[in-house]
Amino acid sequence: MSKPAPGHKDATYHTECTGQALETVKAHSSPSELTLFGACFCPFVHRVWIALEYLQAPYQYREVDPYKKPADLLELNPKGLVPALKLSNGKGLAESTVILEYIDEKYGGGKGGKSLLPPLSDPYDRAVYRLAVDKVNRTLIPSFYRYLQAQEVEAQLEGAKEFTSNLADFVRSMPGSKGFWNGQGLSIVDCTVAPWLYRATNVLRHFRGFEPKELLEPELFERWESWSSTVFEHDAFKATTSTDDLYLDSYVRYSQNRPMTSQVADAINKGRGLP
């Protein structure tokens, strides 16, 4: 039988990266100071992976299937979720936003002075970045899943409205007038949100017909285009991104809101926050 078309209802989630992400996996296949336990389709992993590449941290990439929960993943993160980061002393770290801050504190400000957060000498500015991260985690990202998991037409229209309104809020609140969120360089806020906004351009477009040009006011659309072309064309983003077919196939289950899809899908269906 021939392979189903990308995003076909019978397609299943992938278990290996494709495209440039696969090249990066190959280049990071030897034991290193850090081991990133990841899954090729996972946006939470994508966040951390972008940061590891950007800060040129020493890491090995280890692909795991988080739905099968191998024993070494459970040892690092008893919830069995990816990303999980194994440190050189064998200890594990979980939660993508915590890992992002850890990587930045440990490897940021190093080579080329790159950092995902303002310097420690600016605690207020750092708090502003964290507030932006917290806001997208509580609003924009859950609304991505509600939109994608909605089955009835009315619920999908409501999903489009909610997601667009959160996207508009995010774009409007960018401190920079063009390019990255802060108008200067890649930050923790870009890393936090980019994996879902990228999936909005392929997954939401494919399954829900999401078209930012039709939904955002012209001024906001211009800022969105400037942000998305800057971030999606950034080397660290491209190096950690697979080809579109991988995302379309891996999100079929969400688009059909199949039972047992994932802890994220369950939490959304139960009206809870992200796991």
Q: What DSSP letter does each residue of 241-261 carry, written as one string?
A: ---HHHHHHHTHHHHTT-TTS
CA–CA distance from 103 to each of 47, 117, 137, 140 (Å)?
11, 11, 19, 24
CB of 190 to ligand GSH, least distance (A): 16
CB of 2 to ligand GSH, least distance (A): 28
CB of 124 to ligand GSH, least distance (A): 25
Contact by Cβ (8 Å): 62, 37: yes
Length of the chain: 275
Distance CA 232, CA 252 (A): 23
CB of 26 to ligand GSH, least distance (A): 22
Kindly give, in sequence order, each residue whose CB lies less than 8 Å from that of residue 210, ignoring residues fewer than 6 positions away: 147, 160, 163, 200, 204
Cβ proximity to ligand GSH: between 63 and 125 the closer is 63
Cβ proximity to ligand GSH: between 143 and 262 the closer is 262
Judged by the rule CB under 6 A, the positions of this chain that interact with ligand GSH are: 39, 42, 44, 66-67, 80-83, 95-96, 262-264, 274-275
Cβ proximity to ligand GSH: between 99 and 186 the closer is 99
CB of 102 to ligand GSH, least distance (A): 12
CA–CA distance from 15 to each of 12, 79, 201 (Å)?
9, 20, 22
Cβ proximity to ligand GSH: between 78 and 110 the closer is 78
Cβ proximity to ligand GSH: between 81 and 216 the closer is 81
Q: What DSSP letter does each residue of 7-48 carry, written as one string?
A: T-TT----SS--HHHHHHHHHT-S--SEEEEE-TT-HHHHHH
Distance CA 162, CA 266 (A): 19
Cβ proximity to ligand GSH: between 81 and 168 the closer is 81
CB of 133 to ligand GSH, least distance (A): 11
